[in-house]
Amino acid sequence: MSNIIEVEHLTKTFGDFVAVKDVSFSVEEGGIFAFLGPNGAGKSTTIKMLTTLLHPTSGTIRINGHDPVADSDLVRRSFGIVFQDPSLDEDLTALENLELHGALYSVPAATLTSRIDELLALVELADRRDDFVRDFSGGMKRRLEIARGLLHHPKVIFLDEPTLGLDPQTRNHLWSYVQKLNTDEGITVFFTTHYMEEAERVARRIAVIDHGTIVAQGTSEELKQQTGAPTLEDAFLALTGSAIRDEAGSSTDRMRRMHSMHSGGRR
Amino acid sequence: MLISNGMKAIYIMWLREVKRFIRSKSRIVGSLGQPILFLVALGYGLGPVFAKAGQGNYLEFIAPGIIGMSIIFSAIFNGMQVIWDRQFGFLKETMVAPVSRLAIMFGRTIGGATVASAQGVLVLAIAIAAGFRPVSWIGIAPALVIMLLIALLFSALGIAVASLLKDMQGFQLIMNFLVMPLFFLSGALFPLNNVPAALLMVARFDPLSYGVDALRYFLIGTHTFSLTLDVSVLIGVTAVLLALGSYFFSRIEV
């Protein structure tokens, strides 16, 4: 199996601050890969570089054989993403959100219709297709975003903390959709999470990043053996230390607080 | 292929703004409250004073200004949504999509301008219902064009400013120190013929002054500046703001 994501010696500096330092890893096509790390470790920065939102300072990235800097559109067609914060248009219906995505990715009309039906059925939202997203719960929005991210048949799906704040039933369903797509269609899954039990259960390969560098890579078993820990969570704590990482409240955090004020605390 | 992709993106962003507007009945009605208040309170309240000063019908005088007000508030508000959208909304999705940011920005600007102009038309209708009579009904067509120009200018301004802000805290500042002064100092509410030189100077730097002046020219037949100057300033400033807006928008980091 070839590697669908290849990262070599990736570095990103912001002025004097080195956010990502000489990071290298690869993700096999059809794999399920967990990218773990404490707050401020460089996870989001790395993902932004993979998803064409940031330019690396140095190093190379290849997604589906393309360079996100030189061939950003080709890379964008190769992946779908579900962001940590919902990025749906609340004033439109579920169906309209999906159609909008189809238009942005130039999905041919016939394919679009059947694909929409397929995906809405998969995430169990078929009966809500004409409802406004504003009326959806956090879990429903997440499910819709997964359907949307896969609409254009990407090779890779990026999931940034996909189950944050969701109830166990929804979490369970979410992973079952993702795993089904991985098995049936061979879609590569790249996700981040703070829920170590999920990473342990679902991921086939894991990389742990801390202070901008990869501190461990391998299967869940390998990481546990390496640290002599019984669970992935303990292995993670062994690798990254148990001190709390305080992050300065960023403008993103302020916005999130405002958002939860306005939408009643539900994501 | 690239060009048609861009055009399609502009169209769907435009359509999205229009759909959102048509569906938000409460927001439309809510946003008409202030213009109605201004028209009624000032038009009928200060009307007699204005007439006594020999200046004519105040309701007629301020109607173009109030139309301008509703347009700029709507356009700026729409543009400021970009701040919100980029973290929680649809904008983020467009940033990773294989479409040019420029197309997204243009579609958004034109969509916002369409919506703002529609608000302006609604206020015009209300003004007519309140007793305003344009000097000639033929003047309405070019007046609509001017309304669209004003809407485009302020839509681009809103997006340009929003592209530079990181959270909604700047919004209050912008409303109070940019939008309100632009409105109040534009001659929307008082004639610029007899004001102190300093005030006239400030009004000359305000693009809305020229917009309101052109609206007055077509709707009630009076003007302070020449029509040519009005239209040139509107087009020129809009072009600059579109360029600036595109630049700032393209540099947004999500």
Closest by Cα among B31, B104, B221, B193 to B209: B193
- Token pair, residue B41, equals 């309170």
Angle ∠(A101,A107,A110) on CA atoms, nearest 5: 115
Residue A50 vs residues A4, A104, A200: alpha-carbon distances, Å: 12, 20, 23
Strand intervals (E) in B67-211: none
* Residue A233, in any domain of the structure: yes
* Residue A121, in any domain of the structure: yes
d(CA B172, CA A70): 39
Q: Where are the alpha helices (DSSP H) in B24-57?
A: 25-38, 45, 47-52
For residue A48, list chain B residues with Cβ-Cβ distance below 8 A. 254
* Residue B192 dihedral angles phi and psi, to the nearest 5°: -90, 0
* Residue A148, in any domain of the structure: yes
If phi > 0 it is left, if psi is from -120 to 50 it is alpha, else beta; for residue A138 that is: alpha
Instruction: Give the tens place of pLDDT for each residue, B147-180.
Output: 999 999 999 999 999 988 877 777 778 888 889 9
Strand partners of residue A93: A132
If phi > 0 it is left, if psi is from -120 to 50 it is alpha, else beta; for residue A206 that is: beta
CATH of the domain at A68: 3.40.50.300
| Nearest CB neighbour to A53, from listed B87, B90, B96 | B96
Mean of pLDDT values over A149-156: 94
For residue B99, list chain A residues with Cβ-Cβ distance below 8 A. 104
Tell me the one-letter amino acid at A202.
Answer: V
Query: Domain containing A123: what range?
Result: 3-262
| Nearest CB neighbour to A103, from listed B8, B20, B23 | B8
- Token pair, residue A90, equals 């609340």
Strands A213-218 and A58-63: unpaired
* Residue A94, in any domain of the structure: yes
pLDDT confidence bin for A247, thresholds 50/70/90? low
* Structural domains counted in chain A: 1
* Residue A249, in any domain of the structure: yes
Indicate if the pLDDT at residue A70 is higher than 90: yes
Lowest model confidence (mean pLDDT) among A27-31, A83-87, B72-76, B215-219? A83-87
* Residue A159 dihedral angles phi and psi, to the nearest 5°: -125, 115
Strands A188-192 and A205-210: unpaired
| Contact (CB<8Å) B89/A259 | no
* Residue A267, in any domain of the structure: no
pLDDT confidence bin for B83, thresholds 50/70/90? confident
Query: Domain containing B163: what range?
Result: 2-250
pLDDT confidence bin for A267, thresholds 50/70/90? very low
Mean of pLDDT values over B72-87: 86
Mean of pLDDT values over A201-206: 94
- B143 or B31, greater pLDDT: B143
Q: Is the pTM of this model over 0.90?
A: no
* Residue A98, in any domain of the structure: yes
CB of A251 within 8 Å of any CB in chain B?
A: yes
- Token pair, residue A73, equals 């559109």
Mean of pLDDT values over B224-237: 93
Average pLDDT, chain B: 89
pLDDT of the residue at A82: 94
d(CA A108, CA A110): 6
| Contact (CB<8Å) B253/A259 | no
Binding-face residues of B in 116-145 toward A, CB within 8 A: none
Closest by Cα among B1, B246, B231 to B110: B246
- Token pair, residue B146, equals 């001017």
* Structural domains counted in chain B: 1
Residue partners of A82: CB distance under 8 A and separation at least 6: A142, A145, A146, A149, A157, A158, A159, A160, A162
Residue partners of B189: CB distance under 8 A and separation at least 6: B42, B62, B65
| Contact (CB<8Å) B96/A101 | no
State the burial class of residue A138 (Cβ atoms within 10 Å of its Cβ: 0-12, 13-18, 19+). Answer: middle
A235 close to A227: Cβ distance less than 8 angstroms: yes
d(CA B82, CA B158): 9
pLDDT of the residue at A265: 41
Average pLDDT, chain A: 90
CB of A83 within 8 Å of any CB in chain B?
A: yes
d(CA A186, CA B156): 44
* Residue A209 dihedral angles phi and psi, to the nearest 5°: -110, 140
- How many contacts, defined by CB atoms under 8 Å, are there between A and B? 80
The label of the residue with tokens 């940033």 reads B95
A143 close to A123: Cβ distance less than 8 angstroms: yes
Cα diameter, chain B: 64
* Residue A93 dihedral angles phi and psi, to the nearest 5°: -80, 170
State the burial class of residue B4 (Cβ atoms within 10 Å of its Cβ: 0-12, 13-18, 19+). Answer: exposed
Instruction: Give the tens place of pLDDT for each residue, A96-140.
Output: 999 999 999 999 989 999 999 999 999 999 999 999 999 999 899
* Residue in A45, A91, A253, A259 to test binding to B, most B beta-carbons within 10 Å: A91
Indicate if the pLDDT at residue A260 is higher than 70: no
